[in-house]
Amino acid sequence: MIGTVVAVAIDDVHRFSKRNVPQIRILAGLGVEGDAHQGVTVQHRSRVAVDPTQPNLRQVHLIQAELFAELASKGFAVEPAQLGENVTTLGIDLLALPKGTLLHLGDEVVLEVTGLRNPCAQIERFQPGLLAAVVEIDRNGDVIRKAGIMSIARAGGIVRADNPIEVEFPPLPHEKLERI
């Protein structure tokens, strides 16, 4: 399975949206250099409040660009970086990947998928109604979270738009992604 990086983004302050940039530098074991979520231990403010010593499983946030087209069909205008992701992808069903999947971005970067992003109330403040559009209940009563996936940086390097993304699945049995 091969996809493409559509856009990359960063923000050194804890804000909902990030800013698009020509490239980001991934630091192994830390995440995106200069990003507010970079670190070995958790950086997300609500998680820091609970336990600042827990490992940071949310170093790099990825969202599939296909979500933006789906949201547009529901009347929302969303562009890369606006939902707080570091990497916007195309051509890979990120939400269907199993835990532990390795994503090879460009020639150097390797990200390990850790779980699903759990969207919070900030998404509703960004655009009213958007939370319901990215968190749905399927016919079996299961919650479907569409706001992307989280990962940790296994190998560092530069990531730019148009970099290829190769998917390396973990050994069987595969573990379904859970919210983190």
pLDDT digits (tens, 9 = 90+) for 20-29: 999 999 999 9
Output the pTM of the full model: 0.95
Share of the chain above pLDDT 70, in %: 100
Q: Is the pLDDT of residue 8 over 80?
A: yes
Q: What letter represents residue 145's amino acid? A: R
> Are 180 and 14 in contact, with CB atoms under 8 Å apart?
no
Q: Which CATH number fits domain 2-168: 2.40.33.20, 2.120.10.30, 3.30.300.30, 3.40.1710.10?
A: 2.40.33.20
> Are 18 and 101 in contact, with CB atoms under 8 Å apart?
no
Map out the domains of the chain as residue ranges.
2-168
Mean pLDDT of 79-92: 97
Question: For position 6, what pLDDT does the model report?
Answer: 98
Concatenate the DSSP letters of all residues of 77-92 into one string: ---TTTTS-SEEEESS
Question: What DSSP element (H or E) covers 69?
Answer: helix 66-73
Q: What is the DSSP letter of 94?
A: G
Question: For position 71, what pLDDT does the model report?
Answer: 97
* 76 Rama sector, left if φ>0, alpha if ψ -120 to 50, beta otherwise: beta
d(CA 65, CA 87) in angstroms, rounded, equals 10
What is the token pair recorded at 175?
Answer: 């573990």
